[in-house]
Structure 1
C-alpha cells in the first residue's frame, strides 16, 4: 500500500510539472514571433443604444528577445504593417505609417512588464498604442489575485486558469497621474462611472496563441440617467508563426544594451512605465483665447439674459477657456472694456474655474476694504460658496479675509458663511480633514472667537459659519449653544446648524440634548427652538418610548398649544413619507389612552404640509410648507422647503424662512406680555443647503411704513447668478493604450424677480413674483489625442419660470384674495452627437440626434385659487409670504418683501376681528 501511494504521488508530481510547463510564457533566444493585432474603439450612449462610431486599427508585428540579464529579458517589438479604418464607414481606410517607424523595447520578468523604452522622437500617441499591444503579454500562469502596474494604471488583476486557457479580469484601476481630475462630491449632482476589463487567453507550447480582450467604460448623470455615454475597446491578438531571429546583443546590463542599440543615432531612447501617458497638446484651430470668446458671448452674459439657455451656454464656454488659461489671460477678460456690464457674471465664471490663476486674477479685481462697494465681493463670496472642488489656496484666502474683519458688517458675515461652505466642500471627500493646517486653523479661530463673543450678533456669525461647515468637530459647540444660550435666536441657529453633520456616530448624545430642549427639562425655551429640536429628533429617528413621550406632551401641555398643534400635523405629514416612522407612530397610537380626542383636537393654527412639486422616473421634487403661529394666532415663523430626491441622495434645493416678532400689535390683538415687543420681520435663505446671509425686513413701525411707500411697481431682480452644478473631469485609460477624456459640466442660470403695487387709498394690492431659471448640462467622452478624433457629446437644456400672482382687496370685510401659481409646460431639448476624424479623413464626420420633450405640469399647489380668506387659508397665505420673501435678499430691493408681508397681515386680521 505504501509503495502504491508513492507511485501515485510521483505521477501527480510529473503531471503538475507537465501542466505548468505547457503554458509558462517564454520567448526563446534567437527566435522571433510574428503576431497579428487589431483593436477597435467605439462610442455610444450607455443606456439607449443608437448608431456606433469609432475606428479599427490593425497591425502585424514581430517580438523577440535581444538581451537577457538573469530572469529579465529585454524584448523588442517591431510593427511591420499598420492600417486604420472607420468603424461607422468601413470604406474609409488607409495606412498608418508613423506606427511602423520606430521599434519599442520592454523588460519582461516572469510575465511582468517592467520599464518600457522607445525613441525620443516617437510620438506619445504611437507609444500609447504600442503599450496597449504590450499589455496583452503581461500574464501570470498561476490562479489568484495580484496587484499590477498596467497600461490602465494600478489595477487589481484576477487570473482564472483552465488548462491552457486563462481569463484575466481587472478591477479598481487607478490612474497613476490624477492631476486635473475632479468631481462634484455632491451625489445628486455627481456622475456614476462604471468600467469592466476582461481578457481571454489561449496558450500552448509556452506561447500565447490568441488573446481577446474587452473593456467598457460609461458615465451616467445621477440627476438624469437618460444622459449617458460609453466607450468600448476591443483587442484581438493572434499568433502567426515564429522564425529565427537576430543574435542577442552582448552587454553587461540593460542600459548598456540600449546604448548599443541607439549608438550612432542623433536621438536617444526615452524610458517610460507601462501606463499610457497624456499627450502634450498645443492650441489648435479650435482653441480660442478667453478674450476672443468674450467677444462672442458678451451679449449672452448680460443681466437681462440670466435665467436663459444662452446665458448658461455662454458661461460654460467661457469656463472651459478659463480653466485652460493663466492669470494674465483671465485678468485681461475681467478688465476688458467689453466686460464693463457683465463683470458680475464673469466673477461667477472665474470663481467656478477653481484654479490658482483664476483666484489671483479675481483678487486683483476685487477689494474688500471699501465699506460701500460690496457688490463684487458679495458676488465672489456667493459663487465661491458653491465651488465643487475648492483648493487649499481658496481656503487660505478666505480665512485671511475672515480674520481681517472687513469694515462692512454685512460683507463680513457673508465671508464667514462662505468660508463655512467652502470648508464643507473641501472636506467632504476626506474622513478627517483636520490634518490640513488651514482647516485646523479655521476650526480653532471660529471656536475661540465664539467663546469670546458677548453680543448676540457676534455669536450668530460664528454659529452660522459652523453650520455651513458641517464639521463634526463643531458638534459640542453647537450643542452647548443650543442648550445653554440665553438668546433664543442663537439656540435656534445652533440647532439648525446640525443639518449638514453626519451625526450617526453621535446620535445618542445629540438626541439627549434635543429631548432636553423639547421637554424643557432644565429651563424654558422659545417655542421656535423647541420645534427646531423636534424636527431633528423626528428625522434622526427615536425610540418608540421617546416618541410616546413627545406625543403625550402634545396632549397634556396646552400652555404652548401652537407647538402641540404643529407637532401633531408634522407627525402626520412625516408618517406619509417615512415607513419606519409610520410604524413607530402606529405602535404609539395603538394605545387608546393616547389615540383619542384630546390628542387630535388641538386649537392652534400652526401647520405642516409636504407634497410633490414634480415627479419623474429618475427623481422627485417635493415642497414643504411649515408655519408656526403665536398664541394670538399671528404667524411667527414660516418656511417653504424644496428638495430633490433620487436613488443616490436627497438634495435640499431651497429653504425660505420668515420670522416675525411683535406683529400682534399691528393687528390689534397682542397676547399678554407681548404688547411692548418691537415689530420685526426678516428672512433666512438657504440655497443648495448653504445658508446665505439673513436679512432683516424692517424693525419698528417706521421701518414698516417706509417699506410700504417705497414698493417697486416695476420688476426688480433680487438674486441673479450662474451656479455650477455638474463638474466632472476624468481621464479613462483604455486597455489598448489610448486615453479618453470624460467631462461633464452643468450650470443653473437663475433670476428671482418681482414687482408689487399697493394702494392704501383703494385698499388693494397686486404682486407678481417670477422665479425663472435655465439648466444646461454638457458632457462628452472623446479620444484625448490630436492624431485621432472620435467620441460622443451629449447635452440637455431647459428653461422654465413660475409666476406667483397675488391680488388682495381689503376695502371691506371679509378680505378678498386671489392666489395664482402659473407655470407653462417645460420644454427640454436633448442632443447627442457622435463624431470621428481619422488621419485619412480630414473633414470630421458627425452623426447628430436631437430630441425635444415637453413636460406637462399637472400637480402644482395653488395653481389657480381665488376665494375668500378663511381660517383654513393660512397655508395659502404662507406660500405667498415665503416666495415673496426671497426677493428681499437683494441689496437693491429692500422693500419688496415687507409689503407682501403686510398683505399677509391684512389677510390675517380678518380672523381676529
Structure 2
C-alpha cells in the first residue's frame, strides 16, 4: 500500500502542517487523518525559452519536458512527542518530450530505475528529514525530495514570515491566508541560497553583469468534510540575462501540480502503531521488504557526471582552435569564441598538461593568446605552469611577460597567492626590464583592488609595496608607482597624492590627479572638501603653476560636483570671465560645462540661467572663445537597459593634441560605468606649427614625446611611447616607419563569467552559464610631411565580442537546454588631419563603420537512454548603421576648409 510519513507539532498555540488547527470557533481541522489513503495525480513541467522582458507573446513553442505519475499518501505511524510519520510512493513515473507542437511520452531511464516507497518526517509543520532507499539513483531521490517539499507548508491565519529549507535550498518563506480555515493558502519563497553548490561570477563592471531573477510561488487548495488537500500548484521562473541587453538571456520555468483523484479508508491495523523513534519504524519496514533506508535532508544533490561528457583535453582543444587563435584573427568573434572554449578546457587541466602545451613548438605562434587564457584561469596551478616557462627578467620574453600580466590585471578573479608570488618577484628580481617591471606593479595594483573587500591583508601588502617604492624612487622612476596608485584606488593614499600635486614635478602632479580622478569616479563619496579644495588650488593655480593636464582634470572634478549639486559654481564662472594666459584650458572648461549641461537637464537650466546673467560671457566673443580644445559626449547606444556614450576629450596646445581620450561609457539611472578608455598624449610638438602665438611654457613639456594610454575594464596599463626626443621623432618622419597601420595593443579578455546551479522545487537542478569574451586590437598610424607642412593620424580600436549563455537541466533520464550566442565586431576610428602650411587647420573625425549583430538561439532535448536528441535553432541578424560623430561647429568649419 502506498503511504506517507510526517511528524506534526504545535508552536505558540498555532498548529502547522498536516495537523489539527484550532480556528476561531475552536473547530479542529485534521488533514491526512489516520486510516485514510489519498491518491494524487502528479505532473512536473519544465519549459526553456528565450528571456522575454518586453512582455510580448512569443509564438514559438518552448523547449523542455514533463515528468508525470501518481503519488499516494498515508499516515503510518505516530511518533513520540506528537509527530507523525507518513509514507509516499511515486508510481509509474513517465517522461514526455517535445514533438512538433506538443509533449509526447518517450521511453527513458525513469521506466526501469529502482523506485521504492519513501518516508517523510514532520516536526512543527516542517519536514525534518526524509528516508530514501540507499541504492536508488540520485535522479529518482531528487524527484522524491521535490514531492516531499511540495507537502511542506504551515497552516496560518493571516500572514507568516519564516525561513525554510527544502528542495529549493534555504529560503525566506511567506505564507498568506485570508480565512480561519484556509481554503486557499499561498506560499512564496525568495532569496533561496545553496552554499554547497558551485557558483562563480564577475564582481566588477555593473553594465557587464549578469542578472538572475527568480520567482517561486505555491498555491494550496483545501476541501472540508472531510478536510483534505484538493490540489497543489507550484510555479517557478528563473531568468538569466545580460544587464546591458535584457533581451539577451534565457528563461527556465517549472510547473508542478498535485491533484486529488480519490481517497478512502484503508486497513492499516498491522502497520500503524506507536513508535518511540521514526528511525526504528523505517528500519523495521525496510527489513520486512528487503530494503535499506538512509535518512537525508530535503536538499537535492547534483548527479555525478551531470555536466555531461568531459570534453576534449586542453591540448586537443588548443589544437582544434589553433588557427582561430592566431594574430590574423585578432578582433574577430571567431577568436573570442575560441578563447572561451580553450579557457573552459584550461580550467580542468592539470599543471603537467598546461606545461606540455606551452612547450610545444607548434604552439609558438599562439603563445600570446595562450598566456591570455592562462592569465584568466587565474589558479595557482596555472600560474606555476606559466612561471616555469616565463621568466620576467629575460629581455627576449618581454612581450610575452607583459601579455600574461595584462591578462592577470583584467581577470575578474585574481588569487591572493598569485599576487604574493608577483610581489616576491618584484622585490627579489633586480634585472626585470623596465617595461615588465611597470606592467607588473600596475597588474598587482589592479588585482589587489578587486580583492580589497575579501582579502584586506593582500590589499594592504600591495599598497605598502607601492608606497615604499614611491618614496625611494628617483626622477621618472616615481611615475610607474603613481600610475599604480590609479589602479589601486585606495582612499588612504589621497594625502600622498596631494603631496605630489602641490610639490612634485608637472608630470607627477598630472599623474597624481589621474589617480584621484579614478578614485572619485569609483566612489563619489570621496569627492570631499579636501579633494575639491585641492582641485581649486590646481585649476586656479593658487599655490603654484600647474601643468595644463593637471588643471583640466581638476576642472573635471569641480564640474562634476557642480553637476551633482545642480548649480554651476560661481568660481568656475569667474574663471571663464577672468583672463588666463592658457586660453586652451579656459576653452576646455567651457566645453566640459556645456557637455555636462547637455547630459543633465537640471544642471543645464541652472548653467544657462547664470550664463545669460553674466554679460562678459553672454556676447559674441564669449560665445566663440579662442582655442581648439574639445569636450563632448555622443550616444552610440540607446536602449531600455543601459545607454552607451562615447565621451571624447581633446586638450590642445598650439594646435597639437596634448592630451586626448575617448571613453566608452555605459549609463543607467545616473550610474556611469567606464568600460574602455583610449588616451593620446604628446609634448613638445608645437615647434612644428607656425605663426600661432605661443602659450606660456610649462615645466617639463619641452621634450618631444608622443604615445597612447589605455584602460581596459578599469585597469590602466603602462603608456605606449611612440618616440622620445626630437631625434627619434625625425627618424620616424624621414623613414616613414609609422605610416602603416601598426598594432600597439592586442589582448583577449573575459567580459562575463557567470555560472551557478539553481535548485528547483521539483527536485531537478538547473545550471545557468553565461560567458562573454572580447578580442581587442588597438592600432595606429601617423604621417608627417615637412615639405607640405601637414600631418595625418589614425587610431583604430576594433573588437570581436561574443557572449554565450546557456540554461539547462542535466539528469540521468533527460537533458534539456537552451543556448544563445550573440556576436558583433565593432570598429571605432579617430582620424586627425592637420595643415600648418599657413593658417592652422585641424580636422578631427570620429567614425563607427557599419557592423552586424548576430544572435542565434538553440534548443536541445536529449534522452540518454535511447540516444534520442531533438535540436531546433533560430538565427537573427541586425544591422548596426555606421555613424560619423559630430564634434562642434569650429571643427566642422576646419574640416570643410581642408576637404571642401
TM-score, normalisation: structure 2: 0.86
Unaligned runs of 5+ in 2: 1-19
1:492, CA displacement in angstroms?
Answer: 1.9
Deviation at 1:39, TM superposition (A): 0.7
**Distance in 2 (alpha carbons) for counterparts of 1:875 and 1:492:** 30
Name which of 779, 783, 801 aligns with 2:805: 779
Partners of 2:894 and 2:404 in 1: how far apart? 36
Structure-2 separation of matches of 1:327 and 1:15: 62
1:277 matches 2:301? yes
In 1, the alpha carbon distance for the partners of 2:895 and 2:29 equals: 78
Contact 1:61 1:81 in 2 (8 A): no
Q: Deviations over 1:797-827 (max 9, x none)?
A: 12244556677788x6568998776654212
Q: 5 Å matches for 1:487-506?
A: 487-498=505-516, 499-500=518-519, 501-504=522-525
User: 2 CA distance for matches of 1:750 and 1:698?
Assistant: 24
Report Cα offsets for 1:150-172 as digits up to 9, x if no partner.
21111111111133321111111
Secondary structure in structure 1 of the residue aligned to 2:237: strand
Distance 1:592 1:758 in 2: 43
What TM-score comes out, normalization by structure 1 length? 0.85
Judge conservation of contact 2:22–2:29 (CA < 8 Å) in 1: no
Structure 1 residues 347 and 703: alpha-carbon distance in aligned structure 2, compared to 1, 3 A threshold: same
Residues 846, 884 of structure 2: 8 Å contact kept: no
Task: Give the distance between the partners of 2:784 and 2:826, measured in 1 at CA.
Answer: 28
- Pick aligned residue for 1:357 from 362, 370, 381: 381
Equivalences, count: 850
C-alpha distance in 2 between matches for 1:698 and 1:380: 25
Whether 1:842 and 2:863 are equivalent positions in the alignment is no
Q: Is the 8 A contact 1:330 1:358 kept in 2?
A: yes
Q: Secondary structure at the match of 2:411?
A: coil
Moved more, 726-735 or 709-718: 709-718
Query: 1:539 & 1:370 partners in 2: Cα distance?
Result: 45
Show the counterpart of 1:80: 91
Which of 682, 691, 712 lines up with 2:716 in the alignment?
691
Counterpart Cα distance in 1 of 2:577 and 2:670:
38
Q: Would the aligned equivalents of 2:676 and 2:713 in 1 still touch at CA under 8 Å?
A: yes
Q: CA deviation at 1:290?
A: 1.9
Seen in structure 2, the aligned counterparts of structure 1 residues 836 and 645 have a Cα distance that, compared at 3 Å, is same
Distance 1:390 1:19 in 2: 63
1:840-881 per-residue CA deviation (whole Å, 9 max, x = no partner) reads 65221112111112122244458xx9xxxx98579979xxxx
Cα distance, 1:58 vs structure 2: 1.0
Measured against aligned partners, the alpha-carbon deviations of 1:580-606 in whole angstroms (never above 9, x if no partner) come to 321331343353456534754643443
1:109 aligned onto 2:123: yes
Cα distance in structure 1, aligned partners of 2:412 and 2:71: 46
Alignment of 1:368-379 (within 5 A): 368-379=392-403
- Distance, in Å, in 2 between the alignment partners of 1:336 and 1:15 is 73
Separation in 2, partners of 1:152, 1:15 = 27
Q: Tell me if structure 1 keeps the 8 A contact 2:844–2:895.
A: yes
Paired residue secondary structure (1:523): coil
2:440 equivalent among 415, 435, 455: 415
Distance 1:39 1:22 in 2: 33
- Aligned residue among 457, 464, 467 for 1:447: 467
Inter-CA distance 494–767: structure 2 relative to 1 (3 Å threshold): closer
The answer as to 2:752 corresponding to 1:736 is: no
Q: Residue 555 of structure 1: CA displacement? A: 0.8
Indicate yes or no: 2:487 matched with 1:468: yes
User: Which residues in structure 2 correspond to 1:739-758 (within 5 Å)?
Assistant: 739-755=765-781
Partner residue of 2:104 out of 65, 77, 91? 91
CA contact (8 A) 2:567 2:606 kept: no
Say if 1:765 and 1:533 are closer, same or farther in 2 by CA, change over 3 A: closer
Q: Distance in 2 between matches of 1:550 and 1:577?
A: 18
Counterpart of 1:540 in structure 2 is 561
Distance 1:682 1:94, change over 3 A: closer
8 Å CA contact retained: 1:832, 1:849:
yes
Deviates more, 1:587-596 or 1:115-124: 587-596
CA contact (8 A) 2:566 2:603 kept: no
In structure 2, C-alpha distance between the alignment counterparts of 1:621 and 1:735, rounded to whole Å: 39
Confirm or deny: 8 A CA contact 2:241 2:248 kept in the other structure: yes
Cα 1:565/1:91, change in 2 over 3 Å: closer
Rounded Cα–Cα distance in structure 2 between residues aligned with 1:859 and 1:604: 23
Q: Any idea what SS the aligned residue of 2:344 has?
A: helix
> Is 1:346 paired with 2:370?
yes
Q: How does 1:74-473 map to 2 (within 5 A)?
A: 74-88=85-99, 89-94=102-107, 96-98=110-112, 101-142=115-156, 143-161=159-177, 162=179, 163-204=182-223, 205=226, 207-239=228-260, 240-242=262-264, 243-245=266-268, 247-248=271-272, 252-263=276-287, 268-281=292-305, 285=309, 287-404=311-428, 407-427=432-452, 432-433=453-454, 436-450=456-470, 452-473=471-492
1:8 aligns with none
CA distance 1:315–1:267, shift in 2 (3 Å): farther
Distance in 1, matches of 2:643 and 2:21, equals 63
Q: CA RMSD in A?
A: 3.5
1:830 to 844, 855, 876: 855
Pair 1:663-2:685 in alignment = yes
- 1:496 deviates by 1.6
The answer for the alignment partner of 2:580 in structure 1 is 558
* Deviation of the 1:458 alpha carbon: 4.0
Q: 1:309 to 1:116 in 2, by over 3 A?
A: same
Q: Does 1:643 align with 2:665?
A: yes
When residues 487 and 206 of structure 1 are mapped into structure 2, their CA distance, relative to the original with a 3 A threshold, is farther
Q: CA deviation at 1:489?
A: 1.9
- Note if contact 1:23-1:141 (Cα within 8 Å) is conserved in structure 2: no
